[in-house]
Every structure is written in structure tokens, then in C-alpha cells.
Amino acid sequence: MLYREAGDYKTSYVADSQTFPIKFDRYGYYVLLGFAFLVMPLIINDYWANSIVVPFLIYAIAALGLNILIGYCGQLSLGTGGFMAVGAYASYKLMTAFPDLNIIFVIIIAGVVTAAVGVLFGLPSLRIKGFYLAVATLAAQFFLIWLFTRTAWFYNYSPTGMISAPTREIFGVPVTGPRASAVSMYMICLCFLVASAWLARNLTRGSIGRKWMAIRDMDIAAEIIGVNPLIAKLTAFAVSSFLVGISGALLFAVYLGAAEAGEAFGIDKSFLVLFMVIIGGLGSIFGAFAGAAFLIVGPVLLKLLLVNTLGWPTDLAAHLEIMIVGALILTFLIVEPHGIAALWRTIKEKLRLWPFPY
């Protein structure tokens, strides 16, 4: 009977529409935030940061962004990799052109640039729906990558065709470049993730979020009751690309340090983020976190088990991983099309009544 809502009365509409209406959830959330900000920086080491925690934080931002587009607004996109590349290259150009600009602004502006590109490629969504739109976003994916690998201006004419992040500091602590420590990488990604989640939550709970969901559920009816489809779809593309761009910028500047468009932001990245959104749960903020965690931690565990423990060859483990990811997607779609988030909701509903069956 730990988890319950009986007796937790609301006396105002504000209290009733808050993010965690149940007290137990609210406290759990504070504890988690406290742990992430106060305890994790003390215990994190290079291995954990590089193999699990930092990629999780970065991909969670991308999954949040894609979830707004697919899960909330119902516009299928396969161009995530391309948009992440826009964020990465924009941050690279900004860092090299304005060495004095604070890295936080660099990343935010990179997000804004990506939002603009996203809106551009989102324009066809006004006439095209469903699979047709997916193909249109593939055009974005392949064209952008081609542009970044073929136009030397984007990689500052470097002979390798790679972009590499120079060292930038916040309060004298390097967060990008080779001297950045695990803790500083962790902290900057965490701050961006928390801010992104807060932003996404606010946007999806109010009138804009309802416009998106109305378009998702029935676009014609939405237009007839007064939703301007142009604005609804383009704002979804803008917000989604903004977050995806930030995640691309972080992935390149903070995590990878050096990148090449085709290598780091190929179509497989688009699918990876898409899978995170599906497995986590379409139309759920929590789902973006769950999906990112699942697809980042899962392969690491699998590799630990197969390669390190059983001593299997790495290529075999990699193929098994592809197979298992595919099987998981199928299983989730069959068993619970709304992903981990829906499973979690079911568990909570059961918990509320526990120990009674109903």
C-alpha cells in the first residue's frame, strides 16, 4: 500500500494538471534528480560515462525530439540522422568561426539552425502523409549527408574530411575536446537533457501539444475544429529538429570529439532513434528515456555477456545484436504497441490497487 493516490486531494486545476499528480511519483522524481545531479558526478568513471551514461543522455534528447514529431504529431520521419548531422556541423562551424562564443550558446544555436532546416524539410508534410512523408524525410537524410561530405566548406577544408571539436570550457572546466573529463561531459549532457525534457513536457501539456495530438489522431477533424495544420505540423518539425540538433551537437562536440557525416550520422542512426521511440513508447516523455536506456544498455550488456564472458567473436555478437534488436521491436509491437511506457503505466495501475486485484 505504499503507492496510492487515495487521500491525495486536489483543490485547484493547477494542482490537478501538474506533471506528477501522485505524491509518491513526485518524491521519486525529486530523489532521482538529486541522485543524478549530486551523487552521480562523484561516482562516475570513464568507462561508465563513455559506454553507457553519456550516450544514453545524448540519445534520450534525440528520442525526445523524434517522439514529439512521431509520437505526438504523428509525422513519420526517417531523417533523424541527417538532422543530427546538421546540429553537429552547425556547432562545428560556430565553434571554429566564433572561438569566444560560450559552448552552451553554440549548442543552442546549433539547435536553432537544425530547427530551421527541419522546418524546410517539414514543408512537404502539408501535402504528404504517412509513408509518403517517410520517403520525403529520407530525401533529407541522404541529401544532407551528401552535402556535408561533398562540400569542403562544412568541414573547413580539412584533408581528412572529418570535423573535430576544439576544446571549449565552462567556468574554466573543459567540456569538449580531448581534455574534457568524464564528469564535465556527464554534467553538460545531463543539464541539456533535463532542460529538454522540461521543455518537451511543457509543450506537450498545453494547447500546442493538443494541436499536435489532434493532428496525429485525425487530421481532417482537427482542421475542422480549428487547428491550423500548417502551424501545428511546422512547429512540431521545428521543436523536434531543435532537440535532435542539440543531441547531434552534443554527440559530436562532447562525446565523439571527431566525426564524419556518413560514418556518424548515417541512416542507421535514424533507425536507432526511431527504435528507441517505438520501444520506449510513442507519445510519452518517459518512453523516450526508457527507449534510449534500453537500446544503449542492452547492446552493452549483450556484448559483456557474449564477448567478455563467453568469449565469442565480436562480429558474431554484432550480428546477434542486430537480430535481437529486430526481434525485440517485433515483440514489443505485438505484445505492447505502446512500448515500455505503457507497460510501466499498467504496473502503476496494478500497484495502486495492490494488494487487491481490482
Minimum CB–partner distance for residue 139 and other proteins (Å):
3
Which residues lie closer than 8 Å to 194 by C-beta, 6 or more apart?
33, 36
Single out the residue of 5, 25, 169, 223 in contact with other proteins (rule: CB under 8 A): 223
Minimum CB–partner distance for residue 267 and other proteins (Å):
7
Tell me: does residue 68 bind other proteins (CB under 8 A): no
Name the grid cell of 237: 518539425
Tell me: does residue 206 bind other proteins (CB under 8 A): yes
In this complex, which beta carbon is closest to other proteins, that of residue 209 or of residue 253? 209
From 32-40, 104-112, 127-135, 247-255, span contacting other proteins (CB under 8 A): 127-135
Identify whether the C-beta of residue 175 lies closer than 8 Å to the C-beta of residue 168: yes
Tell me: does residue 305 bind other proteins (CB under 8 A): no
Single out the residue of 104, 112, 138, 191 in contact with other proteins (rule: CB under 8 A): 138
Closest CA to 240 of 350, 35, 83, 13: 83
Q: Distances from the Cα of 211 to the Cαs of 44, 204, 228, 239, 336, in angstroms? A: 41, 9, 8, 14, 26
Tell me: does residue 203 bind other proteins (CB under 8 A): yes
Given the C-alpha cell 580531448, which residue does it identify? 178
Single out the residue of 220, 309, 356, 357 in contact with other proteins (rule: CB under 8 A): 220
Which residues lie closer than 8 Å to 42 by C-beta, 6 or more apart?
none
Helix (H) or strand (E) holding 170: strand 169-170
Identify whether the C-beta of residue 257 lies closer than 8 Å to the C-beta of residue 178: yes
From 41-49, 293-301, 333-341, 350-358, span contacting other proteins (CB under 8 A): 333-341
Closest CA to 92 of 244, 269, 250: 250
Query: If you ran DSSP here, which 8-state letter would residue 167 be given?
Result: P
Tell me: does residue 213 bind other proteins (CB under 8 A): yes
**Interface residues for other proteins in 19-38 (CB under 8 A)?**
none
**Interface residues for other proteins in 224-243 (CB under 8 A)?**
224-229, 235, 239
Tell me: does residue 312 bind other proteins (CB under 8 A): yes
Strands 169-170 and 173-174: antiparallel
Tell me: does residue 218 bind other proteins (CB under 8 A): yes
Minimum CB–partner distance for residue 36 and other proteins (Å):
21
**Interface residues for other proteins in 253-272 (CB under 8 A)?**
267, 271
Single out the residue of 320, 336, 343, 348 in contact with other proteins (rule: CB under 8 A): 320
Angle between helices 103-122 and 130-150 (to 10 degrees): 130
Rg over CA atoms, the chain: 21
Single out the residue of 32, 39, 327, 353 in contact with other proteins (rule: CB under 8 A): 327
Minimum CB–partner distance for residue 205 and other proteins (Å):
8
In this complex, which beta carbon is closest to other proteins, that of residue 39 or of residue 322? 322
Tell me: does residue 286 bind other proteins (CB under 8 A): no
Tell me: does residue 353 bind other proteins (CB under 8 A): no
Name the grid cell of 116: 530551421
Q: Coil, strand or helix: which one is 169? A: strand
Query: If you ran DSSP here, which 8-state letter would residue 284 be given?
Result: -
Given the C-alpha cell 530547427, which residue does it identify? 115
Minimum CB–partner distance for residue 38 and other proteins (Å):
25
Given the C-alpha cell 514543408, which residue does it identify? 123
In this complex, which beta carbon is closest to other proteins, that of residue 138 or of residue 162? 138
Minimum CB–partner distance for residue 325 and other proteins (Å):
6
Tell me: does residue 343 bind other proteins (CB under 8 A): no
Single out the residue of 7, 38, 131, 358 in contact with other proteins (rule: CB under 8 A): 131
Strand partners for 169: 174
Q: Count of residues binding other proteins (CB under 8 A)?
A: 74
Buried b (16+ CB within 10 A) or exposed e, 274-293: bbbbbbbbbbbbbbbbbbbb
Tell me: does residue 127 bind other proteins (CB under 8 A): yes
Single out the residue of 99, 100, 310, 358 in contact with other proteins (rule: CB under 8 A): 310
